[in-house]
Structure 1
Amino acid sequence: MDFASLMSKHINKGKQASTAESSKPYLKRSELEAQRQAQYQAEQGAAEKARLERLDKKRKAEEEEADREAERREKRRRLAEESRRRREEEAEEEERKRRKRLGLPDLPPKTKAGEEDGTPVPEDEDIPKDELIDKLRSLDEPAKLFGESHRQRLKRYKKRIGADSLAATMTDGPIPTTLQLVPEKDMKVESGLPKGKEGKHFLFRQLASYFTMVLKEWDIALALRDAEVKASYQGKQAYAAMVQARENMRPLFKKMEKGELEDGIVEPVVEIVKAAQERRYVDANNGYLKLSIGNAAWPIGVTMESYFTYPPEPESPVNHDILFRPGVAPDGTDTFTPRALIYDLKGAFGGMKKVNALYEPEEDANVTGSSVWSSKPIIQRVQPIPPSPYQAHLDAGLDPPPLSTSTVRYWSDYSRVFYHPKSLIQLSEFEVNDTLMPFEKWEVGSELFDKLERESDLVDRDLRPFIEECDGIQGIQIFTGVDDAWGGWASGWVERLRDEYGKMSIWTWGVGDQGANTSVPREKRLQQIVNSSRSLQALAEHSSVYIPMSNIPAKLSPYLTLDYTSPWHVGALQAVAVESMTISSRLRSLDTTRGSLQNLEEIINSTGKRRIAKLEMSIADPDVLEEKAEDRIAQAEKAGSTGSKRESDGDEELTSFDIDVYTKDYRIGSAGRARKEHIFGRAEASRGEWDIAENDERDPHDRFSDGPAVQRYSAPLLFPLLDSFPSIFDVGKGQSKKIAVYSGLTTSTAVAEQVRSIEQIVRRLQLVSLDEREALSNGLQAVAEEYDEGWDSGSDSDEDD
């Protein structure tokens, strides 16, 4: 084909196309848009169809994969079940062989699945699951135990209520009980005890009904009070007394439910209830006193054993209920533990257990059968600290061996009391004697308190349960170290307590070397001085009374042999002074010589700003004092008078003590010139026949009398030296197991000299920043000035013109 024919062909084709188009000369825009939209929809439809096809294929693939995974899980379950069954059979076969080898009876036949533990429960004795759980919770019992079946739960409930029928019901009163309550007209009890089991059971129903009615009326009466009365201190005390009475009566209800209440207790209880029903409330109170905890023997070991008297012994003048609290152990027995809250570092409690013999729960029987895990768990335990031989002998009921400084490792080695589990709290963040994280700097203790306070309110969690148990609380006493991180910890506690209990007496006893011990390195000794100064400023600001006590007293007596390196010796000396000085606050209210903590504060701190006091004491053999007293009486009778009197003129007539446990002497350089000490106020406590002139006592409320305010208290009880007390005193004959103590708490200008001496040392130290050092020095100067006002003009002269 040549070129001409090709051109002719193309020309003809173009003419034909133009002829076809010429049939419609033009197109509208709407037609063009419709064509475009139709084309677009066709394309979108095709894309959507393709997407749906892809999703359908994916869904089918996922369903197939899920089916395959379910098959694999079911296969693994069957294999695991088969493996577990084989292990159980092997373990059972081994147990059968072991029993056969030892001559033991064969294993009991296993129950089938769904049969639980044997014979089904009869319908008339069965309790629905939800109702049974509610009943157990009303009895303060666990609703469910691990691996416990419904029948086992029924058995536990039946054992708890001690009833013959599993369908026994609980009352909804203040103290839930299974005893069927009687109407009010049948509550009146008769004198004497009924005979027979049925008569005694009806008596228990009468007592439970009467106590329930009284508790309900008491609760209603408290609820109807005004909101202001409820929020007041007295209102809260009244409610706390009601709650405490209700909790104390729970063991009584429990024993009446089981029918285990002894006749020796039932008879006085009936007398009390009968007298109350006849409105003879004085007789009811007398009956209660016969049954009170102070007249019963309690299974405890108490440090001050001589304070606990039992009939027919005469009643002790010391009210031990002030420092000890009654309680109930898990087994229902009565306990008596100190009202104490003890914080210490990890490992500092020694061999002492948090849960002691009084509160140790009964060990459950070993549960037979298969466990949840296929293998036995591996338990890792920290090696416990073994108890000292002294504690081991006490636990075994044997006479303990004598203690020595080499055998006493921890304070718990010579402790003779059982503490409530809530009294012992371990600060696990720090370990005792740890060199990597030492608990030495003041700010470390303060930061630890702030951290734990943010996590959980320490007052509500640890202290408030003990506070709510107290009826008419006098105050709180805090014993703490002040030359290490415990000073910061205690400062945070005291500030928190002051915010919570604004007007309550808070006494702080600060213990420590306070930088005076030359056996420690110089850097650490200077750090101790800084810690002591910061503790002094913080504790003296928020405490009602702050008494610093040094481990190395500045003034000692020849009859005292003290090992300063032994905390056992130092703690014993301080305990004699503290216990004797505060004994007046624990005397019974009927005794006219009782002085509460607030009374002592008013004597030594008349202005309200002198809160720092120094502690001193003297020790003597009571037999020697008694002989001297007889000689004085004989001389007085011979002279024709009933006694001698001395004129009270100035501070020189006040008693001088033998031992000063206040603090070590810091004075250096020119500050070492001691001025004549002026005493503002003093509270004294004597135990024994001390030679004290009666007219030496000044009325602390008389502001116009000459000389300092002085108040003296006396107690007939001597200080007992138990076998746990070290042999540090050599007085008189030295054979007595009790000593006479004369102690005093004084505010004087010696405090100002001491504070100024510490301030001069702190001002020169570079361990703290300049601003903090300046603020600390100014604060200490302000504290010292309170002990100069009123008599010192600021002159350095030691003589008054």
Structure 2
Amino acid sequence: MDFKSLLSAQINKAKASASADSEKKYVKRSELEAQRQAAYLAEKEAAEKARLERLEKKRKAEEEEAEREAQRREKRRRLAEESRKRREEEELEEERQRRKRLGLPDLPPKSAEGSQDGTPVPEEEDIPEAELVQKLRALQEPAQLFGETHKQKLKRYKRRIGQDNLAAITTDGPIPTTLQLVPEKDMKVSLKVPKDKEGREFLFRQLASYFTMVLKEWEGTLARRSGDIKNSYQGKQAYAAMVQARENMRPLFKKMEKGDLESSILEPVVEIVHAAQERRYVDANDGYLRLSIGKAAWPIGVTMESYFTYHPEEESPVNHDILFRPGIAPDGSDTFTPRAVIYDLKGAFGTMRKLNALYETEADVAPTESDVWPSKPIVQRTEPIPASSYQSALDAGLSPPRLSTSSVRYWSDYSHIYYHPKSLIQLSEFQVNDSLMPFENWDVGMDLFEKLEREVDLVDRDLRPFVEECDGIQGLQIITGVDDAWGGFASGWLERLRDEYGKLSIWTWGVGDQGGNTAIPREKRLQQTVNAARSLNVLAEQSSLFIPLSNRPKKMPSYLQMEASPWHIGALHCVALETLTMPSRLRTSHQGHGTLADLEQIVNLTGKRPIGKIEMSIADPDVLTNKASPDVMEVEKVTSRVATPRGEEVGNENGLDEFDIDVFTKDYRTAGAPKRRRDHIFGRVGISRGDWSKSPNDEYGARDRFNDGPLVERHVHDLTHRYNTPLLFPQLTSFPSIFDVGKPRGSKLAVNTGLTTSTAVADQIRTLEHIARRTLHLEDRETLSNSLQSLAEEYDEGWESSDSDMGE
């Protein structure tokens, strides 16, 4: 292309752009309106689109909120349902407890459909109003109750005629029961117990009807008494006996309602009722004794086992209710357990369980996840101690094997009796035979008692339930160690008891070696002596009578063959303790009866000499009987040696006039110290089992024999007293063979014991005080020394003292 063409193209292009600019400069009004409308429509469309988007978002938010609200309503409904179920379960449990207290049968299980017996609820058959009114009037029922609907009236009618299966029918007798009672003419029972179900059910109705009639008559007779008789002591006792009998029969009614009464119980009950209906009340009482005592597993134990009798004509002179409490096991059976509270360290009970066979139905229930912790608990159990062969044989009802010192590990290995769960209390703070934390210091025991007393009132928790069961309590007996921490623990207990029972007789038996074992290191022997001194200071002051018992008797005849075993030592102490307290357990009609206060008044007449010395002798009862016969003169010479079959001579020509076993505390007097010329006796009481008298014609009998010793001052007979009983000491299979008096193993022994307060105690107390004064700290020394010196002065005769005329 040439230059001319290019120039012409550029000129044309410039003219075209100029014309276009001139056209945009001027716009029509219609075009502007069209542009405005287009912009408006676009803006309106954008606004509508934004509105729709907002509505969509709002709809989604509302749907989400509705869903969340539905979830919240479902959660509230579920919580309300769970709360309702929990409330119904609580109400149902309260109803079960109420029915249990009233002796009613348990409620049947509730099914998912709502019925109590698991079956669908039947539809009620309607009855016209007029006919229903006539039927109610025929049954002598009100035709209309206030506010009662037709449906409620129909239900009341069906309940009255026994067609309403949804409600239990209970009687309004002394013991409410669902058993349908029979008329009096049908109450006569037969000795033969039926085997079929219908016959047993009718028998249960007969028994329930008879017991209800007897209880009603009993209650009515007591109600018809005059006011003076009702308010008297005997009247209140009679009413209490009726109430107790009624409460004791509730478990029997409960078992009869369930129909699961064992034949071993049903047959004796039928025998009792049959005898009572024929007015053979002695036979009925005999059957009750066989049922309540004879069928129980080990109902009693230790030496008390031989005192129980099961026939009214064979009543034992020993009242076993003094040391044993009657009770009822969870299954309704009668039990006899000791009135005892036993404290011991962890591991000292051995194989004995707190919940034994009599109370094993009260075993602890395993905790569930909702009880305490949200997570599943981890249970740590120690390896159980294997039961001894002796206890295993007793559990199986077999003849137990013979025990030995090697087979006896714990005191529970030879225990014959069951204890109430409240009787066994373990002190878990200390473990038996623990070398790191030994239970040996007196202060440790006192601190432990004070710690437990701060946490809980021990008297109210442990002792008061047993004391309140006693109609007339004689006193309390405490058996404790005195030369270790148990002395401090018992001292704290005794001070608390004296505050609670100020005038009650409290006997304390202090067991210990008091430093007499030379195999123990000297430091430990000194510690034991100090513990014994501190225990003596508190126990003698707070006890009505304090009797020290040594683990190593000072006088041991040749017929006493015992080892240094706690089993043998406990057996020896048992003979002395059980014989000395025998008068307190005899019935009031028995000749040798005497309470603890009577015995205490003889030996501690002034109340200032509570420490007594106990001695005893053991003999063959057959030889004693021959000795007492005036026709056998040669036997009297042999009797002085009968207790020592090895040929050792004990006593003098008059027979067994001196005790040959001294279980008093260790003699602390040194070999070089001068001895008293004689011991003055302030009081002495003797208890003998068997015929220990010198002669049937002897005016004073064995009581005069107390003053025949060469070192004992002869004085008036008013200072001594003798209790005698023909009951011999029984040796059970658990008793060790420590007495060799010519009798076979397991036979009964004649025992003669004496408890004396004399001037011999003063030297013991002063020697203890002298040792403790050299060992204790300064702040405790003066108080203990002054107290023991004051106590020793009470045992000095006249102007005699420990320093002036010793040995004169």
TM-score of the superposition, structure 1-length normalised?
Answer: 0.69
Partner residue in 1 for 2:719: 709
Q: Equivalent residue of 2:722, what SS?
A: strand
Cα 1:262–1:390 shift into 2, 3 Å: closer
Q: 2:765 aligns with which of 755, 763, 773?
A: 755
Alignment pair present for 1:691 and 2:651: no
Partner residue in 2 for 1:207: 211
Please give the alpha-carbon distance, in whole angstroms, between the structure 1 residues aligned to 2:446 and 2:220. 46
- The offset of 1:400, in angstroms, is 2.4
Partner residue in 2 for 1:138: 98
Does the 8 Å CA contact 1:403/1:726 hold for their aligned counterparts?
Answer: yes
Alignment pair present for 1:265 and 2:275: no
Partner residue in 1 for 2:749: 739
Does the 8 Å CA contact 2:188/2:277 hold for their aligned counterparts?
Answer: no
Partner residue in 2 for 1:297: 294
Please give the alpha-carbon distance, in whole angstroms, between the structure 1 residues aligned to 2:210 and 2:409. 55
Cα 1:325–1:215 shift into 2, 3 Å: farther
- The offset of 1:377, in angstroms, is 6.3
- The offset of 1:471, in angstroms, is 2.4
1:546-595 CA-partner distances (Å, limit 9, x unpaired): 1110111212111111212x111111111111111111111122212111
- Structure 1: any 5+ residue segments left out of the alignment? 1-63, 79-113, 117-126, 143-147, 276-282, 639-651
Does the 8 Å CA contact 1:684/1:711 hold for their aligned counterparts?
Answer: yes
Q: Which amino acid aligns with 2:572?
A: L
Does the 8 Å CA contact 1:441/1:484 hold for their aligned counterparts?
Answer: yes
- The offset of 1:734, in angstroms, is 5.1
Does the 8 Å CA contact 1:699/1:711 hold for their aligned counterparts?
Answer: no
Please give the alpha-carbon distance, in whole angstroms, between the structure 1 residues aligned to 2:755 and 2:223. 44
Please give the alpha-carbon distance, in whole angstroms, between the structure 1 residues aligned to 2:364 and 2:548. 49
Cα 1:165–1:407 shift into 2, 3 Å: farther
Partner residue in 2 for 1:724: 734
Partner residue in 2 for 1:560: 560
- The offset of 1:746, in angstroms, is 1.0
1:574-630 CA-partner distances (Å, limit 9, x unpaired): 111111111111112221211111111111111112111111100112222233233
Q: Percent identity?
A: 57
Does the 8 Å CA contact 1:515/1:528 hold for their aligned counterparts?
Answer: yes
Please give the alpha-carbon distance, in whole angstroms, between the structure 2 residues aligned to 1:679 and 1:154. 82
1:716-743 CA-partner distances (Å, limit 9, x unpaired): 2221222222221111355662211111
1:674-711 CA-partner distances (Å, limit 9, x unpaired): 441111111111112223455154899xxxx8256111
Partner residue in 2 for 1:280: none
- The offset of 1:198, in angstroms, is 4.8
Cα 1:562–1:132 shift into 2, 3 Å: same
- Show the 5 A alignment for 1:88-167: 132-140=92-100, 150-151=110-111, 165=165, 167=167
Q: Which amino acid aligns with 1:489?
A: F
Partner residue in 1 for 2:786: 778
Q: Which amino acid aligns with 1:680?
A: F
Partner residue in 2 for 1:607: 606
Q: Which amino acid aligns with 1:756?
A: R
Partner residue in 2 for 1:11: none
Q: Equivalent residue of 1:747, what SS?
A: strand
Cα 1:241–1:442 shift into 2, 3 Å: farther
Partner residue in 2 for 1:624: 623
- The offset of 1:670, in angstroms, is 6.0
Cα 1:380–1:190 shift into 2, 3 Å: same
1:159-208 CA-partner distances (Å, limit 9, x unpaired): xxxx99552266798866445799xxx9x899953897558625524533
1:226-250 CA-partner distances (Å, limit 9, x unpaired): 9xx99xx999999986775554343
Q: Which amino acid aligns with 2:767?
A: S
Cα 1:262–1:574 shift into 2, 3 Å: same
Please give the alpha-carbon distance, in whole angstroms, between the structure 2 residues aligned to 1:225 and 1:190. 35
1:327-371 CA-partner distances (Å, limit 9, x unpaired): 22222222222221111110000111111122212999999xxx9
Please give the alpha-carbon distance, in whole angstroms, between the structure 2 residues aligned to 1:359 and 1:759. 48
Partner residue in 2 for 1:664: 666
Q: Equivalent residue of 2:94, what SS?
A: helix
- Show the 5 A alignment for 1:41-60: none
1:477-533 CA-partner distances (Å, limit 9, x unpaired): 111111111111111211222222222221111111112222212111111111111
1:658-678 CA-partner distances (Å, limit 9, x unpaired): 001011111137645244111
Please give the alpha-carbon distance, in whole angstroms, between the structure 2 residues aligned to 1:580 and 1:157. 63
Root-mean-square deviation (CA, aligned residues, Å) is: 4.9
Q: Which amino acid aligns with 1:732?
A: G
Cα 1:736–1:252 shift into 2, 3 Å: closer
Alignment pair present for 1:597 and 2:606: no
Alignment pair present for 1:431 and 2:441: no
Does the 8 Å CA contact 1:173/1:216 hold for their aligned counterparts?
Answer: no
Does the 8 Å CA contact 2:293/2:334 hold for their aligned counterparts?
Answer: no
Q: Which amino acid aligns with 1:601?
A: E
TM-score of the superposition, structure 2-length normalised?
Answer: 0.69
Cα 1:617–1:364 shift into 2, 3 Å: closer
Does the 8 Å CA contact 1:584/1:595 hold for their aligned counterparts?
Answer: yes
Does the 8 Å CA contact 2:318/2:586 hold for their aligned counterparts?
Answer: yes
- Structure 2: any 5+ residue segments left out of the alignment? 1-60, 103-107, 120-162, 192-198, 637-653, 707-714
1:424-452 CA-partner distances (Å, limit 9, x unpaired): 11111111111221111112111211221
Cα 1:299–1:518 shift into 2, 3 Å: same
Cα 1:746–1:364 shift into 2, 3 Å: closer
Does the 8 Å CA contact 1:555/1:659 hold for their aligned counterparts?
Answer: yes
Does the 8 Å CA contact 2:330/2:359 hold for their aligned counterparts?
Answer: yes
Q: Equivalent residue of 1:575, what SS?
A: helix
Cα 1:434–1:174 shift into 2, 3 Å: farther
1:44-91 CA-partner distances (Å, limit 9, x unpaired): xxxxxxxxxxxxxxxxxxxx9xx99x99xx99x99xxxxxxxxxxxxx
- The offset of 1:388, in angstroms, is 1.6
Q: Which has the larger radius of gyration?
A: 2
Does the 8 Å CA contact 2:576/2:753 hold for their aligned counterparts?
Answer: yes
Q: Which amino acid aligns with 2:482?
A: V
